[in-house]
Amino acid sequence: MRRRCFAVVPAAGRGRRMGSEIPKQYLNLAGKPVLQHTLERLLAVPDLEIIVVALAADDRRWHELPLARHPRIRVTEGGAERADSVLAGLECLEGAATAADWVMVHDAARPCLRPADAEKLLHTLAEDEVGGILALPSVDTLKEVTDGVVRQTVARHRIWRALTPQLFRYRLLRRSLEQALARGMPVTDESSAVELAGFRPKIVEGSPDNIKITRPEDLPLARFILERS
Ligand code: CTP
Ligand code: MG
């Protein structure tokens, strides 16, 4: 049976490392807000039926976004940590998504996602019972370091950098996040919660273009990527 696909976009962060007054998801990037780019890229994936955006409780900028009233987009209130915001997005899909439907979680702060990579994730995992993530193999030689001294060289082929989107079955993801938060475990992405619940998410290779805007120097890099693509 073909499963339905939904998306959750955590966009309730403050962007502290960015250091700007405006939260980074609303900063101007090549003529439009970062979040507008991100949502346009997700809307270009036809399989995603509904995209839920989790916003900060005091967000005043959403309504100015050209896509604010798009029929495939819904909003909900996010929480204190990224995982709380994602969970709020999943709760918003209650009633729409059934247990085995897919949910794609994608950071608002990754506006350079290639829609083809999101589709590759969906198609590669279509028959999988758990889900998986876009990731990048490490290109540098990696060192394990204690107190400023190299302990050893880490086998590079075993190390991947986790990106978003991350794609999981609806109920499995929701339960994994709820359990991890209830246990007070650190949850920096969906995969870590699913791993803690005892599952093995699959890896699908993404593109180095799919950067997360984190610090001020990432903004000109994102502009370069968008203008080239
Ligand atoms: N996010 C969220 N709710 C939070 C914290 C983060 O929805 N309570 C979102 C951010 O808006 C962002 C994504 O999660 O799209 C990735 O988080 P990150 O890059 O860490 O963004 P911020 O938390 O906003 O930045 P910082 O950690 O520098 O404050
Ligand atoms: Mg953060």
**Domain residue limits, the chain:** 5-227
Give the pLDDT of residue 157: 85
Ligand nearest to the CA of 59: 1
Q: Has domain 5-227 been given CATH number 3.90.550.10? A: yes
Q: Is the C-beta atom of 78 inside 6 A of ligand 1? A: yes
Distance 1 CA to ligand 2 centre (A): 37
Distance 219 CA to ligand 2 centre (A): 16
- Tens of pLDDT along the chain (229 residues) come to 679 999 999 999 999 999 999 999 999 999 999 999 999 999 999 999 999 999 999 999 999 999 999 999 999 999 999 999 999 999 999 999 999 999 999 999 999 999 999 999 999 999 999 999 999 999 899 999 999 999 999 988 889 999 999 999 999 999 999 999 999 999 999 999 999 999 999 999 999 999 999 999 999 999 999 999 8
Distance 194 CA to ligand 2 centre (A): 19
Q: Where are the beta strands (DSSP E) in the chain?
A: 5-11, 28-29, 32-33, 48-55, 73-77, 102-105, 131-137, 142-146, 149-154, 160-169, 202-205
Q: Which amino acid is at 138?
A: S
What are the φ and ψ backbone dihedral angles of 15, each rounded to 5 degrees? Answer: 65, 45
Q: Is the C-beta atom of 212 inside 6 A of ligand 1? A: yes
Burial code of 7-35, b = ≥16 C-beta within 10 A, e = fewer?
bbbbbbbebeebeeeebbbbbebeeebbb
